Every structure is written in C-alpha cells, then in structure tokens.
Amino acid sequence: MEVQMLNRLNKLIVALVVLLGFIPIAPMKSAHAANYVVAPQLATGYYHSAVLLSDGTVWAWGRNDKSQLSYDTGTYSTWPLQIKNLDHVKQIATSIMSTYAIKEDGTLWAWGLNGNGQLGDGTLTNRTTPVQVRGMSGVTAVSTGLGYHVLALKDDGTVWAWGRNDNGELGDGTTTQRQLPVQVVGLTDVVALVNAGYHSLALKSDGTVWAWGRNSYGESGGGISADRTSPYQVSISGVKAIAAGDHHSMAVKEDGTVWTWGRNTYGTLGDGTTTTRVTPVQVTGLDHVKSVAAGTHFSYALKEDGTVWSWGYNNYGQLGDGTTTTRLSPVQVSGLTDVVALGGGGYNATAMQSGGEIWAWGYNGYGELGDKTRESRTVPVRNAAVLDLTPPTIANPDITPTDITETGVTLSWQKATDNLSKQGELEYQVYQIGSRTAATVSAVESSGIRIGTYEPDMDIKQVTDLYDDQSYTFIVIVKDKDGRKSIYNKVTIRTLAIPTFSITYHTNGGTGTVPTDPNVYYQGETVIALGSGDLTRPGYTFAGWNTQADGNGTTYAVGAAFNIGTADVELYAKWTQNPTYTVTYVVYGGTGAVPIDSNAYEQGMPVTVLGNTGNLARPGYTFAGWNTQKDGNGTTYMAGATFNIGTENVELYAKWTQNPTYTVTYVVYGGTGAVPIDSNAYEQGMPVTVLGNTGNLRNPGYTFAGWNTQKDGSGTAYVAGDIFSIGAENVELYAKWLADPVDDSTDEGDSDPETGNLSPEENTEKPLETYTGLRVTVDGEDQDLIHDVSISQNRAEMTVYMDADKWQAQLEEKDERPEVVISVAQQVDKVSLVLNGNAAADMANKQGMLIVQTVNGNYKLSMGAIMLDAWTEAFGEQASLADMVFHIDIAKSRSAQTGKENAAVIGVPVDFNVVISYRGKEIQIKAFNAYVERELLLPEGVRPPTVSTAVRIDADGTIHHVPTRFTTQQGKSVAVVSSLTNSTYALIANSIRFEDVESHWAKDVVNDLGARMVVGGVDEHHFHPDASITRSEFTAILVRALGLADSMSASRAFTDVNEDAWYNGSVAAALSYGLIEGDANGTFHPDRTITREEAITMIYRAMRLAGLDTSFSSSNIQARLSQFVDGTSVHAWAEQAVVATVNSGLIQGSQSELMPGRNMTRAETAAIVYRMLAKANLIDSFHS
C-alpha cells in the first residue's frame, strides 16, 4: 500500500517488522570451501517475506506490485521465488515494499519500491533487480522494518540512514528525505538497529536503548510526545534485544523480562490494558524471553524453550492461537516449538525453527504465508521454503570396527555437526552394502540393506545376526532435520570363523583310495568311522583305524562312533601283518651268483621264477631251469614261470643238462710218424686251436704243409696255431703234403696240383651298380623324378639329386597339398636329398608335404614351414630361387653324447638337418614356423612302454624333451617326434615314480611328464602335487612341454628377470613365441604364484602354437561363462582364453566353478599341459 494512501486513512494500517528480534553486528562468517555456506535467515515485510538460504541465495514470496520479489510481472507469488542476479549474500532485510541484501564483500544491494529513495541509489526509480546502495561498503548489518526508511551499520561502527524523513526517522538532525545514505549523528558502540514505521531504535553494547523519529504515542520514549530528529536515550537499561511496531517499541532485558511503550489501543503492549505508555512497562506473565518481534498492532516474544507467545490485534488470526480474538496479555502460538527466529508483517507473522523450517500464520491475501495458497490461517502452517541446502559436516569419516565375533561386530564413528540442526538432532542410519558399491548416498540407499532405522545422536551400533567367516561391508549415512544427508567411509570386516574340525584318513603304508569325510564337525559332534574302501597293503590285513601312525593311539573299528574334541583328527589305517614265506635259489653244482628274491610271499601269492641273472655256470653243462629237489626229481620251473606259494619256504635248485661234446682227430694220410693227440672234448661252438706236426710226420718227396678237413685237400686248410669253432660233429684233420721242387732245367715239372698258388685279385674299383633301393611316389603313384644318385667310396653316405624339370612338371598336374615320398631302403649311415630352389618353392606354394624315408628315420617336412621368403632375404641381393639348393639330411649321429645319468639312450641318435646354399654361402635352417614331424624306428624287440620320449641333444650333451607319440607302421613300432627346430634326436628310457603321487588323482600324468623330463620333483622322490606353482616354474614347464629351445635372455624385456636366473632362457623362449606378457611396468613377477586364469591365458596362447583350433564367436563369451557360478569373476583380459580352453575340454571347472583367482597347483599344471599336448596329437595318452 502506498504511503499517500496510508496517510489518507489516518494511518489505520502501519507496517512494522522486527529483524528477528535484533540485528547482529557480526553475522556468521561465510564458508569458502568447495561451496559458499551461510546461516539461513528470515525477514518479514508488510505483505512479503524473504529468506536467505544456506547456499547464499535469496528467495521471496507474497506481494510483488513494486517488484519487491525482483520480478516485473505478476502482483504476487504464493511460493518462494529466487531473487535474480544475486548470490554470496550474508544478511537480508525487508521494508514495506522493498528488499535488501548484504553480500559477502560488504556491499549492500536493494530492489523494489523506491518512492522515497529507500533503495539508496540516488534515484526515485523502482527496481526489478538488485542495485547497489551507493557509497556503502563494509556494511555489517541492515535493519528490517515496515517503514519507508532504512538503517545500516558499517564495520567502522557508524550508523547510516536514507529514505523518508518526515518525522526525523533518519536521525541526521533534519526532516529532509535522503536518496543517498547519511550518517546518524552521535551513535557509537551500536549492536542492533530497528526501523519502525516512522521512528528508529538502536541498542548499544552497554544495554542502553536510543530512539529518534516520530513520538506521537510515546513510541520513541522519553515521557514526551514530540518528534526527535536525533538519537536520545530511553529510560531503560540492561537490555539485550529490541523490536518496534507501527507505534510501539519493545525491549528484552538480560533477566528475560519484556518491556514495552507507545500506543496500546489493541493491547499491543501486553500489560493487560489498552492504556498508551510513554515510558516502558513490563509485559505480564512472561519470563525467560530471548528475543521479540512486532507487527502493526501486535507483538511476539520468543522464549528460551523455543515457544512463541503473542498479544494485541488479531483480526486475521495473526496471533496464531486458533482464534481472531484480540488479546491484552500473552497467549502461546499454537503448536510451535524449537523456534529460533521471528518476523512480524502487516497482518501476518513468520517463524523459523532450528532446522530451517519456516512457519507462517495470519493474513494470506497476497500469498504472504508462502504455503502455495491465499487462504488466511489462525494457526501456523508450513511454508514451502527450504532454507537448508547444506548437509551435515563429517570431520572424521572413518568407521571403526571393534568386538568382531563369529556373528557380529560393533561399529563406532565420530558424530557429525550441522549448520542448523543440533548435534543431538542429527540422525544416523547403518547400511550393509556390497564391497563395490559406490560410497554415495544415492548408491547406498538404492542397493544397501538397512541395519535398523535412523536413530538420533548415535555414534555406535552393534550389528548382529551375521554369518561366521564372511566378509561384510558397512557404511553410515547421517541426515539433518531438513533431510540433507552426508556419508561416512565404508568399512569392510570379516567375521570370525566358528571353529570346526575335520577327519582325515591316511593309507599308512597301504595303497588305494582312502575314504574322504567331507563333513566339518563342531566340538562334541559324533563321528562315524568310515570303511577302508579299496585300501590294500601287501602282506597285511586291514584292522581298522588308529589315531597314531604307529598304532599306539585309540583304535576305531569301521562304523565305530566317537565324539570329536577341539582339534582335527588324523586316522591312520591299522595293518595286521600276514605270515610270509621266502623263495631261495641254490647254485647246486655250478659256480656264480644265484638270483636273490627278496620278496616275502603270503600264502597263495604268485611267485615269478627268476632267470640265471648271476651267470651261473657249470663246465660241460647247460643251465636248464630250477627244481624243487637237488636230484632234479621235484618240480622244474623255467625263468618266468609262475607258481602259487604254499605254507612253507621254498628252495629252488639249479638244474643242469650235460652238454654233448665233440672231438678233433688228426690223421697222418700218406706219411709216417705220430700224429698229435687232442684229448679235449669240445662243446658246440667252442674254439679249437690247431696243433702242429709234433710227432715228426714224414712223407718222402713231400713237405708237411698243415692240415685239411678233406683227404684230397679240397676242404678247409689250417696251419698250426689257427683257431676255428667246432660244429655239431666230430672233426678229422688230414695231413697236407706239398711235393718237393724238381730240377731247374724242367720249366714245366711235375708239380703236385695241390701246391698251385692262386694269383691275387686285381685291386680295381668296380663302377657303381644300378641302384634298386630307391622309390619316389607323388600322391601314392610311382614317378621318375631322380636325376642322379651317388654313393661314397666307403658305402656310408648316399646323395639323391632330384630332377627339377620333372619335379615341376609333375607338380603342375597336381592340386593343392601334394605329397611327395622319397623312400631309401639302402643301408647307409647318411641320406642327403638335393632339391632345386624352384622345386622347393613349388611345393611351398601348393602347401605340399615332402616325406623322406630312410632306414635311420623319416622326415615329414611341410615346405611352407621353411619360410622361403625370409631365407631369400637372408642371402640378400634379391637372391634367385633357381640358384638355391636345398640339402635335406638324415644321418646317424657320430658325435651325440648325453649328459643325463638316469636316461638310457635306446638305439642310435639321428641328425636331421636342412641347409640352403647359394653361390658359395650356406644357411642352416634351425627353426620352423610350425611343428615338423620326424619318425624314429624303435629297435627290434623294443616296445613303446619301455621308451619314455624322444629328446633333442645339444652339442654339450644336454637333452631336452620334444613332444613324442607312438604308432605302428607295417608292423613296426615308430616314434613320431614333433619339433619346431632341427637338431639331433634320440629315444630314451627314463623311468620316474614320485612317491607322494601314488594315491593322487594326477599320478599317471605327473609320472608320465616326469619321465618325459617336462616336470621335475622337489627332490628325487617327491613332487608335492598340491603345492602352488610360481609364474617362472609354470613358464619353464610349458616351454619344456612344447619342446622349445631356450632363447638368449629375457632380462632386457623384464626388469625383474636376472641374467643368471635359472628360468631366464625359458622366459625368453616363452616371450619370443608369444606365450607370455609382462605388465605395464615391464615386470614379469617370476616368483609370484600363478592364478588359474593367468595359467589358462598362457595355455590358450600355447594352443595356437600347437595348432589347436581356438576360434569361437565372441558373442558367446558371456553365455559360456554364465554356465559357471563364478563366471562373472573372470577378468576381461582372460575371458577369451577361459572360454577357448573350456570349449576344447582342457578345463572343465570344479562343481560348476572356474575358480579363476585361485592359485594353480603343480598337479593341475601337469594335467592341463598334458591335456593340451594330447589334444594337439603331439603325444599320446599313456601309450602302452
């Protein structure tokens, strides 16, 4: 309502609002952390109100006819609207139709009605947006009221005023209206200011009250009714708060009593009368008051207990007691508690609670109550404003877990604080969340599990009903009275495990599978002793279980029950020894060592009779087995025969069969004298030394010339001292005579034909005969592709030269993947195949297979594996294939020696070599880009079970496993050796049996790979199958399994692989073949245990090297992993490898679990490596 209108109506309606009881001289310090934070405030004008939010913005509601809401459209708003272009505000104030704000920098801003210059900008123009009050800086407080003038306090202690001054309300000693601020004279040490409708009040720090302006009803005090143009002291002291209405003033003393003076027409002074007072009188029935507020003709008091009391005019229910009855003494405002600030308007009132909630009552024609209606209220209603935008402050966000038990934990934390809510009013809620849940209020509230409900003033919570030995994550949310929330740090604990105990059964010297008790037992639970299963122990009978291995503990029969104590129980198989019998071998008549049978046999057990292993001999006799009696009249057994032993010891005596003997008899035949006598009896094959003419045999005209097996000399001739082996019949040797020479004159005398000398053979070299042991086939059909064949003089080496033109012509007629077989049946030590470069390229282009077969071994060479382009570049100068010559050699090794004591070489090592020559240069091909097969024939009588594997032999005698499987070709056993290199290869026998895997599920795999020298034990007899394996150990096993040659060094690639580390070469080889990768820091972590998913990833890369199919649709990865309960725990980098190995059958999981993060064991390593080699057909499964 305009000032002129009010004057015409004899000022029946006068606006007056008190600034929240008083205006503080030092408002709360602003916060400048991540966001601006300020204490919320309330200011009430004649028909509008404003609030300062905690974020420093200002909102207002109610009448807007002079743009006091900062909008140039609309005459009112029933809900709060934000003031435009205004932030970082630290205090607000209102007047009749104007609004004011002090910013953080101490500047003062105003907007709305400016008809009396009350905006202080030097004009009389109304403003729709805030303008700065000119000349005012360092402002610390501004007054709220229902007048047309404004008071402000600066940081230098001076008070300034501007606007209407008809009654001297500006205190500058004049009645001149001011459009710019002027200083109020004579005021210092001011702590609070109030501008009423037409007068002003100031409270000093000494508790005195000063007034100036209109005094028609004594509202300015002093006992007179004349107006004052400068401040003078009111007759009251000990004051702590002031307020003023239209024509009355109020003060609160330090003792909590309320005093009033001025107009009292409607009981405005609260003294129980309607008498106007020119000096202060005490309000009846009020104490413990901390602040007051005033409206036009009504008053309010805020007590220390947070209740509000009112009195005076009540035509619109502005007293808030639920009536419209005017009150001459205080009544309590209905339902209001916890109030911290008050404001009085023209015909309404507002109050703010400690949590920032705004309540309003009274007249609401222009939306003054801000409840989104225009309905007047006689009791307080909740305003739509939300003042507190600041959540509680958590100084220490950590949660401390204590008293962790099997089923619970105690959580404690430091209480939070808040800008509005008292610490005791803050409420706390504990949540259980997932370990990966984000520590945000929204994430926790949407997915967390509440532990109890919100509880006030809480800093400790006992959580119960948890499961033992489980991990739990907790977090705490704190909220203030306005629902603003903050969150503490999450904390993860693990409950204690309830002690359980297990039963473990041990073979204790037996073999077979011990029973497994999968149960875990609590103390005092009953255990039933299990059966023996298939346990056996040679020479013993199972007799139950005992708590000690030596049988001196407690014995339990199968099915017996006992109660478990406070420790795990170990039960050992108890064995009763069976009576045993021995078999003893007796030489009886011979010499040498009898075999020793150290076995102890139980009744009925089979005995395998031993052979003559000690080289028993008896002159003139042949060993013929064993007999149960010395005289040979018992039962006879040959070596290898079996019989079942009875109930007594057995003695077996050597049985001898007398050998037949033969004689040598000398016959004189034509001469005289005594022939030598050989009295020996010779067994077949024994050596006979021919005797001389010891009896002086003579024959006139002849000379003795030795002996002959035929009378006529046509048999075999011997001279004295010759040795021959006797056959299976007696021998007669006849004296041989040569005729003496005749006279020299007879050139052609009568020489005896028996004395004729054979002329020696000429030592001439024969030309090479036509070679018939060579065959060439292309796709199974015989072809003539050989240009020439040469054989060395000593017949040890053969070179086969292929005809390049015929070769190329033949291949032109073939489709893809032709197979050329060159078979050499000649018994030579070395075969060398010579092939033109163009012919080799033709084979490579058609992905052909060249097979060279010799008596020493076979070579199956895919020509594409030679990488012709790489070798062509190696010669440089754009080498021509036509000028290249390929030499493919297979030869018995003359120099290979092994340095492994326990590995016995079977047969002769064989060299496989490929050499490319070009214009005097040679390159030896040592490696291929795919596995190349060689075949080694097992020696006669050797079967695959006695051969462990083939090995690669280095120059220093070191041997390395190469993948080997066994097959049969034309009735003969053949070892198929697959390798990525050329070298010397040999078959070995290397029996390995680790004692600690005898009853383990991986027994066969571990022992087989041990014999192949792929895995080794922790010592000679133990493998430790269930121990974890490191990354370096796993890499070395994989490299050995694939037969890869160690590379030079991995120390350059990985900073944590030392040059002298035992695994350096293996890691380098794995790196060069793409089997391993390091981390982003260039480290390999060789000594860290390897997880299952890490190992599977390396196996996956090895599968591709071994030629296994690893392809699958990437869209099926998640579907495949979802078949396992822990499929989601597989890391993204390992998903493809895991799915590929699952699809290939290399891993199956355990009870639908993949366990990707669990450590790989030594037994699992052996199993997965073995499966991969077998799946790739590089080895066969347990060949027999």
**What element of type H or E holds 643?**
strand 642-644
Q: Where are the beta strands (DSSP E) in 552-611?
A: 555-556, 561-563, 569-577, 580-581, 583-586, 601-602, 606-608
Of 970, 988, 1006, the one marking the end of a domain is: 988
The more confidently predicted of residues 874 and 343 is: 343
- Shared domain for 433 and 543, answered yes or no, is no
**Dihedral angle computed from the Cα positions of residues 169, 171, 172 and 176, in that order, rounded to the nearest 10 degrees:** 10
How far apart are alpha carbons 237 and 255 in whole angstroms? 11
Over 60: is that where the pLDDT of 670 sits? Answer: yes
- Shared domain for 281 and 224, answered yes or no, is yes
pLDDT, position 795: 67
1048 burial type by CB count under 10 A (0-12 exposed, 13-18 middle, 19+ buried):
exposed
- Given a contact cutoff of 8 angstroms between Cβ atoms, the answer to whether 546 and 575 are in contact is no
How much is the average pLDDT of 432-454?
94
Of 988, 1014, 1033, the one marking the end of a domain is: 988
Of 577, 606, 625, the one marking the end of a domain is: 577
Sequence letter at residue 1143: N
- Shared domain for 271 and 300, answered yes or no, is yes
Over 90: is that where the pLDDT of 571 sits? Answer: yes
1012 burial type by CB count under 10 A (0-12 exposed, 13-18 middle, 19+ buried):
buried
**Is 1050 inside a domain boundary?**
yes
Average pLDDT along the chain: 87
Count of the separate structural domains present in the chain: 7
How much is the average pLDDT of 90-106?
96
846 burial type by CB count under 10 A (0-12 exposed, 13-18 middle, 19+ buried):
middle
How far apart are alpha carbons 145 and 202 in whole angstroms? 13
Q: Domain range for residue 447? A: 400-494
- Given a contact cutoff of 8 angstroms between Cβ atoms, the answer to whether 1066 and 1030 are in contact is no
For the ranges 330-344, 555-569, 773-787, which has the lowest average pLDDT?
Answer: 773-787
**Is 748 inside a domain boundary?**
no
Structural tokens at position 504: 């473990």
pLDDT, position 654: 92
How much is the average pLDDT of 1014-1018?
91
- Given a contact cutoff of 8 angstroms between Cβ atoms, the answer to whether 227 and 168 are in contact is yes
How far apart are alpha carbons 306 and 481 in whole angstroms? 16
Structural tokens at position 1077: 């990768």
- Given a contact cutoff of 8 angstroms between Cβ atoms, the answer to whether 302 and 352 are in contact is no
Over 70: is that where the pLDDT of 1171 sits? Answer: yes
Over 70: is that where the pLDDT of 1167 sits? Answer: yes
Over 80: is that where the pLDDT of 244 sits? Answer: yes
pLDDT, position 447: 93
Q: What is the CATH number of the domain that holds 427?
A: 2.60.40.10
How far apart are alpha carbons 129 and 84 in whole angstroms? 6
Structural tokens at position 1012: 């192949």
How far apart are alpha carbons 938 and 589 in whole angstroms? 41
How far apart are alpha carbons 1163 and 609 in whole angstroms? 38
Give the residue among 958, 963, 954 at the shortest CA–CA distance from 931. 963
**Is 1184 inside a domain boundary?**
no
CA distances from 964 to 853, 944, 976, 1034, 1165 (A): 18, 11, 6, 21, 19
**Is 1180 inside a domain boundary?**
no
945 burial type by CB count under 10 A (0-12 exposed, 13-18 middle, 19+ buried):
exposed
Give the residue among 934, 941, 945, 922 at the shortest CA–CA distance from 981. 934
Helix (H, G, I), strand (E, B) or coil at 642: strand
CA distances from 384 to 326, 372, 553, 605 (A): 28, 7, 83, 101
- Helix axis angle for 1003-1011 and 1162-1175, nearest 10°, is 70
- Shared domain for 328 and 467, answered yes or no, is no
Structural tokens at position 609: 């009779």
- Note the pLDDT tens digit of each residue in 329-360: 999 999 999 999 999 999 999 999 988 899 99
Residue 984 confidence class, pLDDT cut points 50, 70, 90: very high
Structural tokens at position 972: 């003969």
Over 70: is that where the pLDDT of 769 sits? Answer: no
How far apart are alpha carbons 609 and 694 in whole angstroms? 51
Sequence letter at residue 515: P
- Shared domain for 1154 and 1023, answered yes or no, is yes
**Is 367 inside a domain boundary?**
yes
Over 70: is that where the pLDDT of 759 sits? Answer: no
How much is the average pLDDT of 100-121?
97
How far apart are alpha carbons 243 and 260 in whole angstroms? 9
How much is the average pLDDT of 526-550?
90
pLDDT, position 1182: 58
Over 70: is that where the pLDDT of 496 sits? Answer: yes
How much is the average pLDDT of 498-515?
92
pLDDT, position 943: 84
3-state SS track over 227-268 = CEEEEEECCCCCEEEEEECCCEEEEEECCCCEEEEECCCCCC
pLDDT, position 765: 32
- Shared domain for 1034 and 1066, answered yes or no, is yes
Residue 901 confidence class, pLDDT cut points 50, 70, 90: low
- The whole-angstrom distance between residue 1143's C-alpha and the CA centroid of its chain comes to 22
Question: Which residues is 261 bridged to in the sheet?
Answer: 249
pLDDT, position 1184: 34
Over 70: is that where the pLDDT of 526 sits? Answer: yes
pLDDT, position 1051: 66
For the ranges 204-213, 446-455, 758-767, 1039-1048, which has the lowest average pLDDT?
Answer: 758-767
Over 90: is that where the pLDDT of 305 sits? Answer: yes
For the ranges 123-137, 731-745, 753-767, 834-848, which has the lowest average pLDDT?
Answer: 753-767
Structural tokens at position 792: 């060395």
pLDDT, position 898: 58
- Given a contact cutoff of 8 angstroms between Cβ atoms, the answer to whether 145 and 295 are in contact is no
- The whole-angstrom distance between residue 1158's C-alpha and the CA centroid of its chain comes to 9
- Given a contact cutoff of 8 angstroms between Cβ atoms, the answer to whether 1018 and 1024 are in contact is yes
Q: What is the CATH number of the domain that holds 621?
A: 2.60.40
- Shared domain for 471 and 526, answered yes or no, is no
- Shared domain for 203 and 277, answered yes or no, is yes
- Note the pLDDT tens digit of each residue in 27-40: 333 333 347 889 99
Residue 749 confidence class, pLDDT cut points 50, 70, 90: very low
pLDDT, position 1125: 87
The more confidently predicted of residues 482 and 934 is: 934
Count other Cβ atoms within 10 Å, centred on residue 643.
Answer: 14
Over 50: is that where the pLDDT of 18 sits? Answer: no
Residue 985 confidence class, pLDDT cut points 50, 70, 90: very high
Count other Cβ atoms within 10 Å, centred on residue 515.
Answer: 16
pLDDT > 70 in the chain, percent? 92
- Shared domain for 599 and 566, answered yes or no, is no
pLDDT > 90 in the chain, percent? 58
pLDDT, position 1036: 93
Q: Is the pTM of this model over 0.85?
A: no
Over 90: is that where the pLDDT of 261 sits? Answer: yes
The more confidently predicted of residues 1156 and 429 is: 429
pLDDT, position 7: 35
Over 80: is that where the pLDDT of 3 sits? Answer: no
Residue 285 confidence class, pLDDT cut points 50, 70, 90: very high
**What is the residue whose two structure tokens read 């499987």?**
965
Q: What is the CATH number of the domain that holds 60?
A: 2.130.10.30
**Is 768 inside a domain boundary?**
no
**What is the residue whose two structure tokens read 């609160």?**
252
Which are the contacts of 243, defined by CB distance < 8 A and separation ≥ 6? Answer: 18, 21, 22, 194, 249, 250, 251, 291, 292, 293, 294, 299, 344
The more confidently predicted of residues 528 and 920 is: 528
Residue-wise over 979-997: b if at least 16 C-beta within 10 A, else e?
A: bbbbbbbbbbbbebebebb
Give the residue among 966, 1103, 979 at the shortest CA–CA distance from 1043. 979
How much is the average pLDDT of 120-128?
96
Question: Which residues is 939 bridged to in the sheet?
Answer: none
CA distances from 389 to 63, 406, 988 (A): 25, 42, 83
- Shared domain for 151 and 299, answered yes or no, is yes
Phi-psi region of 509 (alpha: psi -120 to 50; beta: other; left: phi over 0): left
- Shared domain for 589 and 733, answered yes or no, is no
In what side-by-side order are the strands of the sheet with 540-546? 503-506, 569-577, 540-546, 555-556
Residue 204 confidence class, pLDDT cut points 50, 70, 90: very high
- Note the pLDDT tens digit of each residue in 154-168: 999 899 999 999 999
pLDDT, position 902: 62
How much is the average pLDDT of 937-959?
87
- Note the pLDDT tens digit of each residue in 1018-1069: 888 899 999 999 999 999 999 999 999 877 676 677 888 898 899 988 998 8
Structural tokens at position 889: 């050699």
**Is 1181 inside a domain boundary?**
no
Q: Where are the beta strands (DSSP E) in 48-174?
A: 48-52, 58-63, 76-82, 89-94, 98-103, 108-112, 127-132, 139-142, 149-154, 159-163
**Is 1136 inside a domain boundary?**
yes
Structural tokens at position 209: 């009250």
Helix (H, G, I), strand (E, B) or coil at 802: strand
How much is the average pLDDT of 763-768?
31
- Helix axis angle for 837-845 and 804-812, nearest 10°, is 20
How far apart are alpha carbons 845 and 509 in whole angstroms? 62
Count other Cβ atoms within 10 Å, centred on residue 672.
Answer: 11
- Shared domain for 1065 and 1147, answered yes or no, is yes
Which are the contacts of 864, defined by CB distance < 8 A and separation ≥ 6? Answer: 844, 847, 929, 930
Q: In terms of DSSP bridges, do strands 190-195 and 781-782 run parallel, antiparallel, or are they unpaired?
A: unpaired
Over 50: is that where the pLDDT of 315 sits? Answer: yes
